[in-house]
Amino acid sequence: MATPPALRATQYFLLAYRRTWRASIMSTFVSPLLYLLAMGVGLGSFVNKGGGAASLGHMGYLQFVAPGLAAANAATAAAGESTFPVMGGIKWTRTYFAMLATPLRVVDVLAGHLTWIGARVAMAVAPYLIVMAAFGVTPSPEAAAVLPAGILVGMAFSTPLVAFAATQDNDGSFSLVFRLGMIPLFLFSGVFFPVSVLPVGLRVIAYATPLWHGVELCRLLTLGRLGAASAAVHAGYLVALAVVGAVIASRTYTRRLRT
């Protein structure tokens, strides 16, 4: 059976990663352990002693923060793979144009890169699940679904970002994406504390962000509390954003790579 065209593009990114994977070991596998030890166990001991469990829905801080960190890591991994590598494929290494010199089409290049991004997000989320299980904060079998939920979070960030990255002439705007976008989302989307404690104005903004929906989806799955209505709201929001982003990305990629 012939390899689908999009997967041929994905193979390039896989082969490239095989040469550089050692550089990502620390961030991929050690960071989850350090984050959960520092935030969940270290800071969590003070939160739990201070009576914070009541405001967290009667759960320990480690159990609260772990799925949030998994979702946040999915978003961060997706953003990293959806900005500078896209610029590289267009301007620096011109990998995209090398792919288009073969029978691959623009849509194949885009789909192949997005498939690779999904794989990288899975690599980023899976260690969190392993560490969470080791710490005993995955009481529900539904916690295994945090992995596909994390990939969905990654796609909700990735498709709009690759659409944006394909329109840029230099990488200067990417710093603003991380400083003014990803960092505030990381801090104020319910990863470390309930969004309900924010002022009303900021709370409404937080509820409209994809990361808050991703955090809530992963947290409810971990606790085994995800109902049909919650799944429809959170997963539906992320799917809609990923699909809209993919449609826009197909247009920006076509416009940029056919010039």
> How far apart are alpha carbons 34 and 219 in whole angstroms?
20
Q: What is the pLDDT of residue 23?
A: 74
> How far apart are alpha carbons 74 and 71 in whole angstroms?
5
Per-residue pLDDT of the chain (259 residues; tens, 9 = 90+): 568 889 999 999 999 888 887 777 776 777 777 877 777 677 666 676 655 555 566 677 888 888 999 999 999 999 999 999 999 999 999 999 999 999 999 999 999 999 999 999 999 999 888 888 888 887 788 889 999 999 999 999 999 999 999 999 999 999 999 999 999 999 999 998 889 889 998 999 999 999 999 999 999 999 888 999 999 999 999 999 999 999 999 999 999 998 6
Q: How far, in Å, are 33, 46, 65 from residue 38 at the CA level?
A: 9, 12, 11
Q: What is the pLDDT of residue 151?
A: 97
Contacts 24+ apart (CB under 8 A), 194-202: 194/55, 194/56, 194/57, 197/55
Q: Among 74, 49, 75, 73, which residue's Cα sits nearest to residue 60?
A: 49
Could you write out the three-class secondary structure of 120-157? HHHHHHHHHHHHHHHCCCCCCHHHHHHHHHHHHHHHHH
> How far apart are alpha carbons 213 and 235 in whole angstroms?
8
Q: What is the pLDDT of residue 50?
A: 58
Q: What is the pLDDT of residue 259?
A: 63
Q: What is the pLDDT of residue 48?
A: 63
Residue 222 near residue 143 (C-beta atoms within 8 A): yes
pTM here? 0.91
> How far apart are alpha carbons 185 and 188 in whole angstroms?
5
Q: What is the pLDDT of residue 53?
A: 52
